[in-house]
Amino acid sequence: MSCINTILETIQFLVLFIYYYFEAFILLFFPTHKNVAGEIVLITGAANGIGREIAIHFAPLGVKLVLWDIDEEGNKETIRLAKINGAKEMYAYRCDCSNRKEVYETADLVRQEVGDVTILVNDAAVPSVKYFIDTPNLDLERTMDVNIMAHFWTCKAFLPAMIARNHGHLISISSGAGLVGVTKVSDYSASKFAVVGFLESIAFELQATGKKGVKTTIVFLSYVKTQFTGRLKIK
């Protein structure tokens, strides 16, 4: 029986795999544009870099912006820039996304003060620019906590409401280093590979349970110059 189940699950995986790649091929030539007006968009790592640019991009689209970061001053600057670009309703919270307890507590505040998040953008990440053998143990743990464990906690916090309504969107920022290993970023690369595996698995789970109204997107970026300790970091 277990052998039959394995075969059936393999067939199911292959069918879904082919379907999604065919769908992606069609959308490449006939893209659709999503109307996000009225959505509640939460962005982690919103105080600078890519997170700030994402907030500015959403600003004129009629969404409620929720900004999470440990950098409160940076969040204030993101709010200022988003306002200039047309944002009407914004909320900023100090939250260390690597801290499960803090994520859950802040998520409760967001639900009380703003509502259920319908678009979750997991952008927060820390870089690593050392050979693996030279990287301190605490740095390795910090990389995994921020770059992948935070995705677990935020999705645990906000995905149930999306599933209940069959409406929502999970967006995770990965990297070219999430597709191929890169020198001096072994822990970073591992965390970004994990992001891909995690969100792809969630996508299959949503498909299998009939929750087609909850979408997932993985964004792969290359080298991006940001204000992170004055260095070039990979996003």
**Residues with active-site annotation:** 188
Cβ count near 53 (within 10 Å): 17
Which run of H or of E encompasses 4? Answer: helix 2-29
CB 100 within 8 Å of CB 62: no
Angle between helical axes of 2-29 and 186-208 (0-180°, round to 10): 100
State whether residue 71 is helix, strand or coil: coil
d(CA 110, CA 117): 8
| Distance in angstroms between the alpha carbons of the first and the last residue of the chain | 45
Which DSSP state fits 230? T
